[in-house]
Structure 1
Amino acid sequence: MHFFYDNRRLLAGVLLSAALLTGCAPKESSQGSDQSSADVSTSENNAGDKSQTDGSSVPANGSASLPEDGDQQPQAGYDFSKPCPESPAVDNSYFADAAFIGDSRTEGLMLYSGIGEVDKYTSIGISIFKLESKKAITIDGVDYTLVEALAQKQYNKVYICLGVNELGYFNDQGFYDSYCKVIDDIRASQPNAVIYIQNLIPLNEDTIAARGGSEYLTNEHLRVYNELTQQVAQEKQVVYLDLYSAFVGEDGQLPADASTDGVHLSGTYYKAWLEYLKTHTVSYETLYPEGGAAQ
């Protein structure tokens, strides 16, 4: 088993240790075709649906309108324009006051990484476009959107990972605008939380093609979305986690042994995702030394 990580010796060591102990990922830990079809092949996310979302329009060049340099000045002590640097490892108790927002990839992280009991706000097939309109969670008999449900409790950390289902919309500007609004709304309900944006782990396009997956699932477009989420992190002054660089193989794809469908991860790689999160943390005080996040 080979793992390709960019200057992540600690993470590689964890992966190799896991591989030696287990020999391979547990059969039940693989995200199979049933979950992939439910997540990235929904009618909401049809590759042929190029309609604009929330009235946004895509510029002629297909790129989102990004903020001009100087529109947002990073707070002293932390550079929001760069990915979160590596930090001393924390244990699982760090996530006891955290919430995770995402689609089936995040659901897999919750189930197979060994993270333990953590509050999750996930929905298979969810996209940033539907995050504040789809009533995906029921609490005490009341249906909520993921953002509404999150507001029912206070957290010190909020992790977000979205973007794979959005690739089929072909709406880069709408993706950027919607992500910015979601950050604003989360910050309004969670003013004391460190907000982490996780960029997208790469796909294995060869496996997707062999499985008859959707043609819009490409690493080229995925990298565009990763650039956009990094711009969101800089503009909104939240933490950017570079999962892509930690998981990309030498051929620019997710390693073939990491996934049975090219999208969802095997158990060993979900564990590696958790190890990355445990070694990339930052305190609220470091981010906002003057006592409050920029609005």
Structure 2
Amino acid sequence: MKIKSYLLIILIVISAVGLSVCSYIYTPAKYQEYSVGVDKEPVMAPMLKGASAGVFPWSPVEKQEDPQSLAKKDKVAETKPEAKIEVVEPKSFTKVDDSYFDDAVFIGDSRMVGLSQYCPEIDSRATFFAKKSLTIYNLQKDAWIDVENGPKETIFDALSKISFSKVYIMVGINEIGRGTNEGYRDAYADVIKRILEIQPDALIFINSTMHVTKEKSDGDELYNNGNINVRNAALFDLIDNQHIFYLNVNDMLDDGEGNLDESLSGDGVHLKGSCYEPWHQYLLFNGVVD
């Protein structure tokens, strides 16, 4: 029994010495964070604490960067210039003369027809693709433009034959009560997208749908200025003031209460033939020049 006890003691001593030696050797490399100092704990303690955390002498060593290297990297990161964000300034409106319309096309409904008929300063210079009762849906899908000695063609076919730098659009009154505001907006967006595919350098001017007179608005559940305002507002998010602009022609044609000035209209909806000059002047004061 005494021999076995001595052997056990010898094995314990050898194990303790071995653990202490291993801990002493590996503490700087693997067990530094587990050590509180040899004067405060046994030499083997860091190794035992590391082993309990799953760190053994044969575990791979993660390379630690020295504080000076880390500080240098931080300094480089601090001095590295930030990426520049390009800010695109919106283009602004400016006064132009009638020659501005030499390379313009005007697309629209009966109100646009009236501009062609009663504003010779523009009609003599610009191209007009306009007809009564036209809607954004006709623009989007139909072949409606007359061609001499040939079948009617779409607006996109017509635009592909001539180069324009300005495209003016006014529709909207005939769409009131038809479809949803979202559908109207999406159809308008599709038309503009397709026009820009054909004429990529053109400026697109969305003319607001013109208001009706107070008498017409108050007496019509469908064609009233509340519904017109909602449809106009549906187009605001199409505007980027780089290629696509919004012209609120109602600013020049309304009375002081947001209705078409009754003195300008005979039927409450269309301008009198002698009353297109305010629209003409509005266009002259709202050109865009690069």
TM range (shorter): 0.5 to 0.7
The 5 Å alignment of 1:1-295 reads: 76-78=88-90, 85=93, 87-88=94-95, 90-114=96-120, 115-117=122-124, 118-140=126-148, 141-207=150-216, 215-234=221-240, 237-283=243-289, 285=290
Q: Which runs of 5+ in 2 are unaligned?
A: 1-84
TM-score by length of 2: 0.64
1:237 shift after superposition: 4.6
Q: What secondary structure, in the 3-state scheme, does the structure 1 residue paired with 2:269 have?
A: coil
Decide whether the 8 Å contact of 1:208 with 1:263 is kept in 2.
Answer: no
1:193 shift after superposition: 1.0
Decide whether the 8 Å contact of 2:90 with 2:240 is kept in 1.
Answer: no
1:116 shift after superposition: 3.2
Q: What secondary structure, in the 3-state scheme, does the structure 2 residue paired with 1:95 have?
A: helix
Q: What secondary structure, in the 3-state scheme, does the structure 1 residue paired with 2:234 have?
A: helix
Distance 1:75 1:109, change over 3 A: farther
Q: How many residues align?
A: 203
TM-score by length of 1: 0.63
Q: What secondary structure, in the 3-state scheme, does the structure 2 residue paired with 1:182 have?
A: helix
1:154 shift after superposition: 0.9
Decide whether the 8 Å contact of 2:203 with 2:243 is kept in 1.
Answer: no
Q: State the one-letter code of the partner of 1:248.
A: D
1:110 shift after superposition: 0.9
Decide whether the 8 Å contact of 2:166 with 2:205 is kept in 1.
Answer: yes
Q: State the one-letter code of the partner of 1:172.
A: N
1:215 shift after superposition: 3.5
Point out the structure with the larger helix share: 2
Deviation track 1:41-63 (CA, whole Å, cap 9, x = no partner) reads: xxxxxxxxxxxxxxxxxxxxxxx
Q: Radius of gyration: which is bigger?
A: 2
Q: State the one-letter code of the partner of 2:180.
A: N
1:247 shift after superposition: 2.0
